Structure 1
Amino acid sequence: MADTTDPRSQSGQYNLGPGVFIAGNVYGDVNNHQTSRPDHGRDDEPWASQEYQPKEKESPAGHHPEEADEVGPGGALLGWTWRRCVTMIAMTDGIAWLAAPQSIAFGGYSVVLARGLDAEELVSRLTATVFGPTRTARSLAHLTSKDLIDVVEDGPWDPYPAIGLRYGEIGEWVFVVKYGGWQAEFGPQPPVSRGGAHVFQLEFEEENGKPVPPQFSYLHDDRLMCAFNLHLDRSWGYDGVNGDREVAVRVEEMLAAAGLPDANMPRREVHRTALEIIERCFGLSLPRRKVLEAALPAVVLEIAEQANPFN
Structure 2
Amino acid sequence: MSDGITWLTDAWRGDAPILFVTFARGISPGDLVVRLGARPGHVLDPITFAEAERLTFNDRESARVARFGECAGWSYAVEQGWPSKAWWAHSDVSAGGVEVLHLTPKPDDPPRECWYYRDGQTVGRFDIGDTPDDGMAFLLPAFEEAGFLDDDVSEEFDTLRATLTALQQHFGLSLPRQEILNGRLPAVVTATVPPENLGD
In structure 1, list runs of 5 or more residues that go unmatched: 1-90, 128-134, 233-237, 305-311
Contact 1:215 1:230 in 2 (8 A): yes
The 1:226–1:203 alpha-carbon spacing in structure 2 relative to 1, beyond 3 Å, is same
Q: Does 1:122 align with 2:32?
A: yes
The 1:172–1:105 alpha-carbon spacing in structure 2 relative to 1, beyond 3 Å, is same
Aligned position for 1:144: 48
Which residue identity lines up with residue 139 of structure 2 in the other structure? Answer: V
The 1:147–1:264 alpha-carbon spacing in structure 2 relative to 1, beyond 3 Å, is same
Aligned position for 1:11: none
Which residue identity lines up with residue 223 of structure 1 in the other structure? Answer: Q
The partner residue of 2:60 within 134, 156, 179 is: 156
Aligned position for 1:294: 183
Between the aligned partners of 1:187 and 1:169, the Cα distance in structure 2 is 24
Between the aligned partners of 1:140 and 1:223, the Cα distance in structure 2 is 31
Which TM-score applies when normalising by structure 2? 0.80
Q: Does 1:108 align with 2:6?
A: no
The partner residue of 1:256 within 135, 144, 152 is: 144
Aligned position for 2:173: 284
Q: Does 1:191 align with 2:191?
A: no
Contact 1:168 1:175 in 2 (8 A): yes
Shift of 1:101: 4.8
Q: Secondary structure at the match of 1:96?
A: coil
The 1:275–1:142 alpha-carbon spacing in structure 2 relative to 1, beyond 3 Å, is same
Between the aligned partners of 2:74 and 2:34, the Cα distance in structure 1 is 16
Q: Percent identity?
A: 27
The 1:188–1:217 alpha-carbon spacing in structure 2 relative to 1, beyond 3 Å, is closer
Q: Secondary structure at the match of 2:169?
A: helix
Report Cα offsets for 1:193-231 as digits up to 9, x if no partner. Answer: 11111111111123x1x4x11211221102333432111
Which residue identity lines up with residue 4 of structure 2 in the other structure? Answer: G
Between the aligned partners of 1:285 and 1:191, the Cα distance in structure 2 is 24
Shift of 1:146: 1.0
* Structure showing the higher strand proportion among its residues: 2
Which TM-score applies when normalising by structure 1? 0.54
**Over aligned residue pairs, what C-alpha RMSD do you find?**
2.9
Report Cα offsets for 1:5-25 as digits up to 9, x if no partner. Answer: xxxxxxxxxxxxxxxxxxxxx
The partner residue of 1:265 within 155, 160, 176 is: 155
The partner residue of 2:66 within 146, 165, 170 is: 165
The 1:104–1:202 alpha-carbon spacing in structure 2 relative to 1, beyond 3 Å, is farther
Between the aligned partners of 2:63 and 2:79, the Cα distance in structure 1 is 11
Between the aligned partners of 2:2 and 2:164, the Cα distance in structure 1 is 15
Which residue identity lines up with residue 2 of structure 2 in the other structure? Answer: T
Aligned position for 2:163: 274
Q: Secondary structure at the match of 2:7?
A: helix
Aligned position for 1:222: 120
Q: Secondary structure at the match of 1:153?
A: helix
Greater displacement, 185-194 / 172-181: 185-194
Contact 2:20 2:103 in 1 (8 A): yes
Shift of 1:251: 1.6
Corresponding pairs, count:
190
The 1:104–1:196 alpha-carbon spacing in structure 2 relative to 1, beyond 3 Å, is farther
